[in-house]
Amino acid sequence: MTRIRIGDSRVIESREVSDGVTIRRRRETPDGQRFTTYERIEKPNLAVVKRDGTRELFDREKLSIAIKRSVGKFFGSEVEVEEMIDDIEDAIYELGENEVSSKQVGDKVLDELASRNEVAYVRFASVYQKFKTLEDFLKILEQRKLANQQKRDEAK
């Protein structure tokens, strides 16, 4: 296979991919070979400060695994879950910080789940907040009930 050098190619067509952050470019080399490249916006490194004080780079895949584990099959599609993860990731980066606490990340997840699926919210909260008793579950359910009542009262 011939090695293709991007610098020797010209762009034939560019279009934004449906995710809104990727550009697809069709290119052609001087000898007529065509190929596709994708350009993504590179986000800056973001450190997550864990509860024990250790730091690690923000890992979208790790976030995705944690959310998918907690939501189970409570969402209609994988696309819906990925959109939620995109929204959480965007919210974390919009904080404009070089470091965020794992609590901030968890709170963003809870905010998204609360507005999308209450069962998934409770499942995630039970792990994130380390529920140990039935009272812990009842407490979070009561909080959700009050929040929902408040939303209904504000809508009136």
- pLDDT of res. 147: 81
Residue 83 has pLDDT above 90, yes or no: no
What does pTM read for this prediction? 0.67
> In whole numbers, what is the pLDDT of the chain averaged over residues?
86
- pLDDT of res. 55: 96
How far apart, in whole angstroms, are the C-alpha atoms of residue 17 and residue 21?
7
Q: Render pLDDT for 26-72 as a digit per residue (tens, 0 to 9).
A: 999 888 889 988 887 777 889 999 999 999 999 989 998 888 887 87
Element counts in the chain: helices (H) and strands (E): 5, 6
- pLDDT of res. 66: 87
How far apart, in whole angstroms, are the C-alpha atoms of residue 113 and residue 104?
14
Residue 3 has pLDDT above 80, yes or no: no
How far apart, in whole angstroms, are the C-alpha atoms of residue 64 and residue 85?
7
Rounded mean pLDDT, 17-33: 84
Residue 81 has pLDDT above 60, yes or no: yes
What's the pLDDT band for 117 if we cut at 50, 70, 90? confident
Question: Contact 82/68 with Cβ under 8 angstroms?
Answer: no
In b/e form, how buried is each residue of 23-52, taking b as 16+ CB within 10 angstroms? eebebeeeeeeeeeeeeeeeeeebebbeee
- pLDDT of res. 154: 84
